[in-house]
Structure 1
Amino acid sequence: MAKINHNNYLDVVDNVWTSAKEKGIMHINSEEQSFNGEKFTIKGRDLINFGTCGYLGLETHPDLIANSMELTKKFGTQLSMSRAYIRPTYIQELEELMSQVFDGNKVICYTSTSNAHISVIATIIKSNDLIILDQQVHFSVQFPCKNMKLQGTEVKMVKHSNYEMLEEMIRENYNKYNRIWYMADGVYSMHGDLPDTVILKKLLDKYPKLHLYFDDAHGMSWDGKNGAGYIYDRLGVNERIVLISTLAKGFGCVGGTAIFADSEMYRRTDVFGGPLSYSHPLSPANVGAAIASAKIHLSNDIYTYQSELKELMSYMDGKLKEKNLTNISSPDSPIYFIGSGLNKVTRNFVHRILQEGIYVNTATFPVVPNDKSGLRFTLTRHNTKSDIDLLTDAMAYHLPKAIEEEGDNVERVYTEFGFHLPKNENNLQIEPINNLNLVVEEYTTIQDINATDWDLMFKDRGNISHSGMQAMEEIFSNNDKPEENWSFHYIIIKDKNGKLVLATFFTGAIYKDDIVAQENVSKQIEEIRQNDPYYLCSKTLAMGSLFCEGDFIYLDIEHSEWRKSVNHLFDFVSKVKKDIEATAVIFRDFDEGHVLSQIIEDEGYAKMRMPNTNIIKNPKWETTNDLMALIKSKKKRDNIKQYAIRHLEKFDVKIKNQITDEEAIQYFDLFENVKKNNYAFNFFQYPKKIAKVLSKYDEWEFIEISLKENNHVVAVVYGCIGDDHYCPIIVGLDYNYIETHQIYKQAMFQMVKRGNDLNKKTTYLGLTADFEKQKYLALTVPVWAYLKVDETYNLELIESYSNI
């Protein structure tokens, strides 16, 4: 079977961040000609800085600047050679000072913390080790772990700071591996939350094979003795704890550090630690600043700076509580997250704060769940209490304004983040006014919907006519397996005069979360599903269903109330999602530039690429020679002649409407062959009764392809006949004849021929095998879906299965 275009986690990031860039809240160019840490100049305006991670403000310290200049004068701008050959005196001095900061433990300094992770993980982790990643551990840790999979190291993931899940995973795998590494952040950079070091210490004591690997970049300098950081202050390092920290952020410079208590780990990494040896060392300018910062860390000045920042943190915490803002961050870190809910609300909220002359960050899906995005900011010694007053006043004023302006409910948002909204004159909740011009009808079966009304909208959209929906409901009801039983949810919106404005349907079903993942990823996951069939599966509410593809929504955009009808649609989806306890919602399938695309994104849905769909606008032909004349490409004509037309005499082709029980089983088995061999669009198998049920409905037929020599059925196509279209939905194949008789290519030819013989305007050839279908003049149409999930863990775990 041919390959398809796959959705990729980074594609989702690209879509979300591109949207934020277009809104002017990310990838902003600043214009200041000098920087003292206090303000950015953006579009000619000075904005108070609440966005940088130089927590102690050391990047502007005169000692760091002076020593950076001095070493540059002495040693030039770089030493262009690997430290495997020469380690210059200034790097020796820096590493000795950093060793003192960390109580004499061995330290290696890198050009960045990311390079430190690449170097250390590749050096100390073995193929018989197990890596367990915290869900929110920094990407710079996750990235080199993908490389470790290539050497055979097992990599797993636990939900963020879920220590029960961590311990269960340790127990399950304890006798399988030599060492088990839990990798986490010391301070998480998005929500500013902290790991529970007390629990982790108990786990270390309980499980001798357990090792801890921390990225404490955001904990460095502002906390602990000598500013050695949050984790070092509470756990230190030993033979089973490795710490990666930074010369950047609170330390005030550029670079990363690896701290070892195990002499052999240090020796191996120092001798050849990947980029430590094959890339440039830190420049004299960076080292000069770092040496000056290290000396500050070894003096009493560090405690003065820490105290000043923590006084500001305490003041900020009090103001956030006073303003009843949705702060979900730890009061013990200088990173703050104010929950605002939907992406569109967050964009509005952040934009409003920027307009007030205050620079803050945004945090959106997929870093956080769709409905739980928010405003992120940091606190540094550059800030003042007056700055804090301005920021908290602005957030308290603009958060409810942004929520209401984007059509959300303030109380809902506060509840979503675990806060109570007291009722007073400043935040009275205005109940939505019912739209008397629209009538909303909701149904759970097509039987209750007028067939004429439904077919007026959907009869020529694949297999979702009124009768087609009856067949679908019958197939996916009253089955033994939960994944084979779907719930159906219809919404029809009319104006007060009975004119149709909007209609669509959703199905509730168990989805495989890797439905559009890369095939090699799904194959790995399917191996686990042999023993755990619902691994990485979610109850999903999806527009349309997994037994159809196409345009599932009727919307009269000429109607004056169409936008209000869309608001009713979102309310309907929210209610049904809650009723069926779904954790994911998907809107599909939309062409690029659809009128609803931006509206759906604004509701917090992430845009993701689906497999292309293929459509033939049937040109009428009588003979195969006529068909060949329509195809301009000689290469395509020759391919069809060689692999399809040349074999025609080998087959008997029959069109059947009524089939026997034996044929129904045979047809299902042929389809099951395809399903088992194709992970391109990964979903649960259909119920075995599907062919028998479809044979009861007049618009369904089966193209049976058998060998003339022995009447053996080698292929079958399940097709739905509409008024103006033909829609082959399912193909079944005997894989013993794939190569010898080219039966897939024969089935493709017969599908196209059948649409032509029926004299239909359009044949819908569906997903996958784009190249094969394009030979027959099919138009390949890019299709998009929009996803919203309650929790990003499954998506991140699926992404972790992919290798580089």
Structure 2
Amino acid sequence: MAKIKHASAYDVVDYVVTAAKKKKIMHLSSQEDEFNGEFLKINNEELINFGTCGYLGLEKHPHILAKSHELLGRYGSHFSISRAFVKAPYVEELENLISKIFDDHPVVIYPSTSVTHQSMIGTIIEPGDLIILDQQVHYSVQYPCQFAKLQGTMVKMIRHNNMEMLEDFIKRGYNQYDKIWFMADGVYSMYGDLPHKKELLYLLEKYPKFHLYFDDAHGVGWTGTNGCGSVFEYFKHSEKVVLISTLAKGFGSIGGIAVFNDIEMHRKIDIYGGILSYTHPLSPANVGAAIGSAEILLSDKIQVYQNELKELMEYLNTKLEDLNLTNTSSSETPIYFIGAGSVKVTHNLIQRVLADGLYVNTATYPVVPNDKTGLRFTLTRHNTKEHIDQLVNSIDKNFQLAVDEENEDLEKIYKTFNLPFKGKKTVKPAESENVFVETYNSINEIDAQLWDNLFKDNGNYSHNGLRCIEEIFSNNEKVEENWEFHYLIIKDENNEILLATFFTSALCKDDMLALENISRKIEKQREEEPYYLCSKTLTMGSLFTEGEHLYVKGDHSLVDETFNQFFIEVEKFKKATGSTVVILRDFQSDFQFNERFENEGFAKVSMPNTNIVEHPKWNTEDELLSFLTSKNGINNIKRYVFKYEDKFDITIKKTLTDKEAEEHYKLFSNVKKANFAFNFFAYPNKITKILSKYDEWEFIEFRLKGSDELIGGIWGFIGENHCCPLIVGLNYNYIKSHHLYKQVMYYMVKRGNDLDKSKTYLGLTSDYEKQKYGAKLVSIFAYMKVDNMYNWDLLSS
């Protein structure tokens, strides 16, 4: 009954990356005829390369190329047979060499690091185990954990590098699970920071069931004895540690590596290894390159190469420190992140740096929070100190220019990343002299006629409608039932309204638009922790309204200044209410200011469709059917609605007694408890009594003929030119026997027709049922900004 279109994480990423692609800073194509590591040719421009991860610069090392050519000549392009039948001889040679890098620990070579994780996690993790993911562990680790869930393995997530949270999870699950695995990166690929190795070693020794699973893809090669990486030497003595890495970065080749401290685990993987047994081996050319690389790492040359890179790192670190740039990365890794804050500053900065002839990466949502985006770059032996000077000078020069051009506050950016600000005190010059802002905390402070001229025919938020909503969601016992209201009106010097809207700030469920099975699981957790995965959320409109909540005079000459001021006020509301999530809704596909919102760091998120009926007036059931086009829908209405219509007594009331109000709320509660498609906190139980006080609201009641029992109800808002049946209540005992819901749906449409309203808003759920009545399905979306990605990463996991 309450099926809806759910937001897709892939769609969100699509919106974000497409916007960056249009600005030519992501999804670029390399055009060079020959790669030397030092430069990338993009858009016919030769750019100094600060974006690839071949940290030791071995991609064209003569020895590596010679070994690659040698094996290509000896074995051809491919050894096309599964490892379970025959292992290619050159693979065994490579595994023996790489084993020496890792103190003769056994290793298994895979075609890629992603395949390595799928094989390892799918094989070594048991149904009785617990997996704990670090929030920022690489996606290639998180993905196979989804499949581990299918066998019954519990998967949880901690905030990034939060060791207290990790130990708490260990303690709580210690007697419940056979093994507890913590999965983390050896070097985190976005911010270039490191795991807390001392604390993890302490936990490893303290808890016998505790195991570690590291992805050290960004650590192996450029650091550690013989390039063994950032974590191996710290944990090589424990059989409870698994290390995964790659041949694709420090090795200058391609492929995945699994390093074992446990001999039996190695045997088990080597014999079967799940997907490993069905995967072809690396090509001879790739393995030859990896053999050549392993021979270099096992020679004295590795110390020379590592020292050369570390000398460049030290030089770069000193430069960044001297300029006091917003560098958030560890000084111990060749991965750097320069925080720029909002998306518009990040995009501007990267465009400027690219224009200066330097290639760098874009770090944006959902990998980082909307307001913590930035410029990411990597350092390799291909770079020189002269390159570094050019890069640092470009970032230093363009950072301030980007901040100024995008009208941002430099000091605020430093605060966003918890960095000390040593520059001159800045004042954001965004307050416009041409537009004038009015803010209010209650609709009672706003002239009724002014407000209704803008919103009276849209949903249930006329002036009086909002008076009602304010009364419902104030002075309640439960924190989630108390909302803060904020009204915003922006005018020009002639007192013409350029923009108007309202916001509510409330505690909301982060899984509001998640899949039903996810919300059901989360609700089980909320039986113990009522506010688990909940966030203080600033919402345009409210969770008791639907429609176009934003009025904007889009053709006015001051529209740009109006939006500048709008976003300033949104930030003020967010800060004043302590909100960590901002949701601006509901927008249709033709919204013309999409780019403005994306530039402010808002991610575009699909919302459930809304449904609107706009039939001409009909006087008979046959006339209604004549407007409909679906034969199946017409037959369904005849069979399940008209056939049962005489079994019901229908009553329409403007006011309710206290007893009737309780009965209506009980029926609403039935629907709320049964449906998780749109998961929100239940409304206060006083809501029906308060709605009953306001003339715009009415109640349609359903009873069986000859019975006093209320079995269905509709709470509807009646506007001047529209009808908005917002809430449905049902007794589920009559859904199948009397097709109660279908009867209720029919009367939602019929009531709008009887009142001769031009539109009937049918709400967000049950699209299929509503389209039977010719409802126009309207796709809508919202813009969302999140301070901390932990809850959203947890939902995704």
TM-score by length of 1: 0.98
Contact 2:2 2:675 in 1 (8 A): no
Shift of 1:431: 4.5
Residue 244 in structure 1 maps to residue 244 in structure 2: yes
1:179 is aligned to 2:175: no
Deviation at 1:337, TM superposition (A): 0.2
2: CA distance, partners of 1:399 / 1:54: 27
2:670 to 673, 695, 702: 673
Structure 1 counterpart of 2:709: 712
1:687-706: per-residue Cα shift (whole Å, max 9, x none)? 00111100100010011111
Q: Does 1:369 align with 2:369?
A: yes
1:543 touches 1:587 (CA, 8 Å); kept in 2? yes
Shift of 1:237: 5.2
Equivalent in the alignment of 1:471:
468
SS in 2 for 1:398: helix
State the SS of the aligned residue for 1:230.
Answer: coil
Which deviations, in whole Å up to 9, do the C-alpha atoms of 1:281-325 show, x marking residues without a partner?
A: 111011111111111111111111000000000001011111211
1:647 aligns with 2:660: no
Whether 2:795 is the aligned partner of 1:798: answer: yes
Q: What is the total number of aligned residue pairs between the two structures?
A: 797
Contact 1:463-1:548 within 8 A present in 2 as well: yes
In 2, distance between residues paired with 1:341 and 1:364?
A: 10
More off after superposition, 408-417 vs 58-67:
408-417
Q: 1:594 maps to which residue? A: 591
Does the aligned pair in 1 maintain the 2:431–2:565 contact within 8 Å?
Answer: no
Which segments of 5 or more consecutive residues in structure 2 lack a partner in the other structure? none
Distance 1:93 1:558 in 2: 70
Give the secondary-structure state (helix, strand or coil) at the position aligned to 1:771.
helix
In the TM superposition, residue 10 of structure 1 has moved relative to its aligned partner by 2.1
The answer on whether the counterparts of 2:611 and 2:762 sit within 8 Å (CA) in structure 1 is yes
TM-superposition CA deviations, 1:424-468 (whole Å, max 9, x none): 5xxx73552643332211110111111010101110111000000
SS of equivalent to 1:243:
strand
1:611 partner SS = coil
- Secondary structure of the 1:219 match is coil
**Contact 2:327–2:337 (CA<8 Å) still a contact in 1?**
yes
Does the aligned pair in 1 maintain the 2:236–2:261 contact within 8 Å? Answer: no
State how far apart, in whole Å, the 2-side matches of 1:779 and 1:89 are.
65
The one-character-per-residue Cα deviations of 1:705-762 (angstroms, maximum 9, x if unpaired) are 1100423221100000001000010000100011111111110000000000000000
Partner-residue secondary structure (3-state), 1:218? coil
How much has 1:566 moved relative to structure 2?
A: 1.8
1:764 is matched with 761
Mapped partners of 1:435, 1:340: distance in 2: 24
- Following superposition of structure 1 onto structure 2, how do residues 85-234 of structure 1 map, counting pairs within 5 Å? 85-234=85-234
1:320-358 deviation line (CA, Å, top 9, x unaligned): 111211100000000000000111111111111111110
Which 10-residue stretch deviates more, 225-234 or 503-512? 225-234
Counterpart amino acid of residue 771 in structure 1: Y
- Residue by residue, what CA displacement relative to the aligned partner does 1:738-787 show, whole Å, maximum 9, x if unpaired? 11111111100000000000000000011011111111111101110111
CA distance in 1, matches of 2:596, 2:512: 24
User: In the aligned structure 1, how far is the partner of 2:33 from the partner of 2:724?
Assistant: 63
Q: Is the 8 A contact 2:430 2:565 kept in 1?
A: no
Identity %: 55
Q: Distance in 2 between matches of 1:227 and 1:658?
A: 77
Q: Is contact 1:136-1:160 (8 Å) kept?
A: yes
State the 1:274 CA deviation.
1.7
Instruction: Measure how far apart 1:75 and its partner are.
Output: 0.5
Taking the aligned partners of 1:266 and 1:316, their CA distance within structure 2 comes to 40
Residue 15 of structure 1 aligns to a residue whose secondary structure is helix
Residue identity in the other structure for 1:670: L
What do the CA deviations read for 1:485-507 (whole angstroms, capped 9, x no partner)? 00000011222222211110000
| Pairing of 1:230-309 with structure 2 (within 5 A) | 230-236=230-236, 238-309=238-309
Paired residue secondary structure (2:59): helix
Does residue 52 of the first structure (1) align with residue 52 of the second (2)? yes
Letter in 2 for 1:617: E
Alignment of 1:155-554 (within 5 A): 155-236=155-236, 238-423=238-423, 429=426, 431-432=428-429, 434-554=431-551
Question: Would you say the 8 A contact 1:346–1:362 is kept in 2?
Answer: yes
Q: Distance in 1 between matches of 2:423 and 2:765?
A: 54
CA deviations over 1:627-659 (Å, ceiling 9, x no partner): 111112221110111111111000011110011
**Cα separation, 1, equivalents of 2:392 and 2:726:** 56
Alignment check: 8 A CA contact 1:237 1:243 kept:
no
Contact 2:324 2:422 in 1 (8 A): no
d(CA) in 2 for partners of 1:576, 1:85: 65
Matched with 1:603 is 600
Distance across 2 between alignment mates of 1:294 and 1:263: 22
> Is the 1:618–1:755 Cα contact (8 Å) retained in structure 2?
no
How much has 1:584 moved relative to structure 2? 0.6
Distance 1:433 1:671, change over 3 A: closer
Equivalent position of 1:783 in the other structure: 780
Q: Is the 8 A contact 1:616 1:764 kept in 2?
A: yes
Distance of 1:295 and 1:631 partners within structure 2? 75
Question: Comparing 223-232 with 625-634, which one deviates more in the overlay?
Answer: 625-634
In the alignment, the residues of structure 2 paired with residue 495 and residue 288 of structure 1 have an alpha-carbon distance, to the nearest angstrom, of 70
Question: Alpha carbons of 1:757 and 1:736: their partners in 2 closer, same or farther (altered >3 Å)?
Answer: same
Residue 747 of structure 1 aligns with an amino acid whose one-letter code is V
Alignment partner of 2:591: what SS?
A: coil
> In structure 2, what is the Cα distance between the partners aligned to 1:316 and 1:510?
44
Q: Secondary structure at the match of 2:250?
A: helix
* Distance of 1:83 and 1:171 partners within structure 2: 40
Q: Who is 1:742 aligned against?
A: 739
2:508 aligned counterpart, secondary structure: strand
Structure 1 position 535, deviation (Å): 0.1
Amino acid at match of 2:144: P
Amino acid at match of 2:544: F
What's the CA shift for 1:45? 1.1
Q: Secondary structure at the match of 1:368?
A: coil
Contact 1:237 1:259 (8 Å CA) reproduced: no
Deviation at 1:595, TM superposition (A): 2.4
1:6 paired to 2:6: yes
- The one-letter code of the counterpart of 1:271 is I
Deviation at 1:404, TM superposition (A): 1.5
**Contact 1:618-1:760 within 8 A present in 2 as well:** no
SS of match in other structure, 2:779: strand
Q: Distance in 2 between matches of 1:586 and 1:359?
A: 34
Contact 1:618-1:761 at 8 Å conserved across structures: yes
Contact 1:109-1:255 at 8 Å conserved across structures: yes
Amino acid at match of 2:83: R
Instruction: Give distance in 1, aligned partners of 2:648 and 2:307.
Output: 85
Q: Which residue of 2 aligns with 1:17?
A: 17
- Correspondences of 1:57-68 after superposition (within 5 Å): 57-68=57-68
Q: Secondary structure at the match of 1:58?
A: coil
Corresponding residue to 1:631 among 607, 620, 628: 628
Partner Cα separation in structure 2 for residue 164 and residue 620 of structure 1? 65
- SS of 2:734's equivalent? helix
Specify the code of the residue in structure 2 equivalent to 1:212: L
* Superposed displacement of residue 577, structure 1: 1.1
Q: Do 2:713 and 2:730's aligned partners in 1 also have CA atoms closer than 8 Å?
A: yes
CA deviations 1:494-552 (Å, max 9, x no partner) are 22222211110000001100010111111110110111110000000000000001101
SS at the partner of 1:759? coil
Match for residue 614 of structure 1? 611
- Matches of 1:402 and 1:431, distance apart in 2: 13
**Aligned partners of 1:212 and 1:241 also within 8 Å:** yes
| Cα distance in 2, alignment partners of residues 395 and 547 from structure 1 | 46
How has the CA–CA distance of structure 1 residues 433 and 141 changed in structure 2, closer, same or farther, with 3 Å as cutoff? Answer: closer
Q: Distance in 1 between matches of 2:49 and 2:447?
A: 60
Q: Aligned equivalents of 2:31 and 2:454: distance in 1?
A: 54
* Aligned AA (2:316): M
